[in-house]
Amino acid sequence: MGSLFTLVVFALVNVYRDYQREQEEALEHDVVMGIRRWREEKRSKVRNKAIVFIGERYGIFWLAEIMVLSGVRVKDIPKAAGTREEIFMRYRLKPK
């Protein structure tokens, strides 16, 4: 179950990034330098985030947090992601 969840999350992230790239290419002819900087700044703020849907609820998480919560071992997870308990506390969630 965990590996299926991981694949779904990565697929969603890739779809989102492809959508962003298509939007940028479509607007590239009309874009001025100021807007390009603004878009790059905005892109850097949302990089490595994913939307997770469970039933009718959703949440926006850093990919590192998703990996920690799903138990996937990743070589270079940033320390800012925290432990499982810290993530639950950060979002005021109750572990099951």
What is the C-alpha separation between 25 and 5, in angstroms, rounded?
30
Domain range for 44: 2-90
Q: For residue 95, tell me if it sits in a domain.
A: no
Average pLDDT for consecutive 10-residue bins of the chain (96 residues)? Answer: 72 82 69 70 79 87 87 82 88 81
Q: For residue 70, tell me if it sits in a domain.
A: yes
Q: In the prediction, which pLDDT does 28 show?
A: 66
Q: For residue 96, tell me if it sits in a domain.
A: no
Q: Token digits for 75?
A: 């070589």
Domains of the chain: total = 1
- HSE at residue 23, side-chain half, CA atoms within 13 A, is 10
Q: In the prediction, which pLDDT does 31 show?
A: 55
Is-contact 76 12, C-beta < 8 A? no
